[in-house]
Structure 1
Amino acid sequence: MKVYFVGAGPGDPELLTLKAYKLLKSADCVIFPGSLINKEILKITKGDLYDSSKMCLEELITVMEKYIKKTKKVVRLVSGDPFIYSAIQEQIEILREKNIPYEVIPGISSAMAGAAKMGIELTLPEISNSVIFTRIEGKTSGASSEEIKSFAKTKSTLVFFLSAGLGEKLEKTLLEILPSETPIIIAYKVTQKGEKIIFGNLKDLSKILYKNNIKKTALIYVGETLRTFKENLGKKSKLYNKNFKNGKE
């Protein structure tokens, strides 16, 4: 048996991958992030449930080890996709040391779900060819103000995780590089009950967060590609340009 690190997606149970659904259905033990996960997802499993928000690292490993020794299937459920801000690496390293097999099952990131809800593309010819996922430094680790400013200089579309509670600091930092009218979108509780998609300008970021009482469970998108949420910009790729296809460009 293995420990399966499973991406739960952004919250909507219908956005689970088929593999994630099957593992939840057959799991003997499911460890889930109580403060982040949509509880509707937990109704899929009949396994024993453990809320990781009430556990320390050592307790997590103890539970995993207990079930694996009994040849039971363990699912460590994480919100979104396990490869972004899931804190699974420290768990994986201990499992390796204990020779406990594991597998990571990807999920739909909330960043992708947010863009889908907006109905836009985060990359756009002549405007931005890159997307940067990051978080601003607070009580826990994150990108420093200087790093954030260097990201802003690249003209990439910026997506901030775990930063809604630091809106004033983020706004002030970005305004040192970007114009005050730079488009932003706040995606709150994407695909879940209470979802909000709020368009605005960078200069109003902290005001929007305060007005809507948003302190967590939100993503902050920043960049010129976000204008397409409100208007058509007419930027076209060469991929479907007939002259390019005929070798004339």
Structure 2
Amino acid sequence: MEQISFVGAGPGAPDLITIRGQARLRNADIVIWASSLIPEEMLSWTDANAIRLDSAEMTLEDVLEVFETNPRARIVRLHSGDPSIYGAIQEQISWCEAHQRPFEIIPGVTSISAAAAAIGRELTIPEVAQSVVTTRVARRTSRSMPESESLAYYARLGGTIAVLLSGAHPQRIVDELLAEGSQFGATTPAAVVVRATWPDEQVAMTTIADLVHTIGELGAKRTLLVLVGEALGTKDVRRSHLYSPNFSHRFRARSNPGSTSGRAKSRVNRSVR
């Protein structure tokens, strides 16, 4: 019995899939992928004889039927981004466990990482934000959202927040971000990234107050991600301890800046000879 590979395709750009993910696609007999979320170019890694099924037109039962009727096929279930975040893989994993079908999960580059790269910012800045929350606002799927995990609740904690799957409800995003007790304000920096790493990627820097207008101007509701937090706009960045000459760890002893710089320069000179 062959294993099923749940592979993270990354945010969109075909060359952002992992090498391991590529290898699984090359060896796959069957690939189940979502054409609405993953570019068709990603299938260029597959063998010409591989069966390709578009999950955009399939239910969970349809997918599980493919698993069940093809026990000797190498199946790749290709998910956008990283399959562990809003990938709906747990129900498929439960089937594999119940039917003793071997499986593996191959992580992928998240849309959050891609969005941070697109705006050229680190999401965790010393003394500004040391936590990143990934969440969404729920409307049609509100029953799946635990009451203690509302966007308004997380706004009371501060840090950096990534709001996924919520582009159709921009006013709801703003209302919850500015709810009573929020650590954020109307002028808190925000970023909207549409289709990160795709050829038609759109990026807009804004504030919470202007978020509804910005999303409306971009004209997108799907494949849209919102980042919020002071880390997005901080200019006076506190230096990290990680590379400070006055901070030691198991790989580097504490030293003064001059000697550290000299050692680094010496290493570079030796390596380029």
Would you say same fold, with TM above 0.5? yes
Q: Residues 232-243 of structure 1 correspond to what in structure 2 (within 5 A)?
A: 232-243=235-246
Any idea what SS the aligned residue of 2:24 has? helix
The answer to whether 1:12 aligns with 2:13 is yes
Corresponding residue of 1:203: 209
Q: CA deviation at 1:241?
A: 2.6
- Matched residue type, 1:12: A
The answer to whether 1:58 aligns with 2:61 is yes
2:218 to 198, 212, 222: 212
Q: Distance in 2 between matches of 1:120 and 1:36?
A: 25
1:49 to 52, 55, 58: 52
Corresponding residue of 1:224: 230
Residues 122-153 of structure 1 deviation map (CA, whole Å, 9 limit, x = unaligned): 00111011000111111113465972122112
Q: Distance in 2 between matches of 1:117 and 1:142?
A: 29
- Matched residue type, 2:140: K
Corresponding residue of 2:176: 173
Any idea what SS the aligned residue of 1:50 has? strand
Corresponding residue of 1:154: 157
Tell which structure's C-alpha radius of gyration is larger.
2
Percent identity for Structure 1 against Structure 2? 37
Q: Distance in 1 between matches of 2:99 and 2:7?
A: 20
Corresponding residue of 1:184: 190
Corresponding residue of 2:25: 24
Q: How many residues align?
A: 243
Unmatched 5+ residue regions in structure 1? none
Q: CA deviation at 1:42?
A: 1.4
Corresponding residue of 1:109: 110
Q: Distance in 2 between matches of 1:4 and 1:20?
A: 9
Corresponding residue of 2:200: 194
Q: CA deviation at 1:33?
A: 1.3
Any idea what SS the aligned residue of 2:150 has? helix
Residues 149-196 of structure 1 deviation map (CA, whole Å, 9 limit, x = unaligned): 221121210001101111111111112222100100011100002101
- Matched residue type, 2:52: L
TM-score normalised to structure 2 length = 0.85
Residues 94-116 of structure 1 deviation map (CA, whole Å, 9 limit, x = unaligned): 12111111111111111111112
Q: Distance in 1 between matches of 2:247 and 2:166?
A: 42
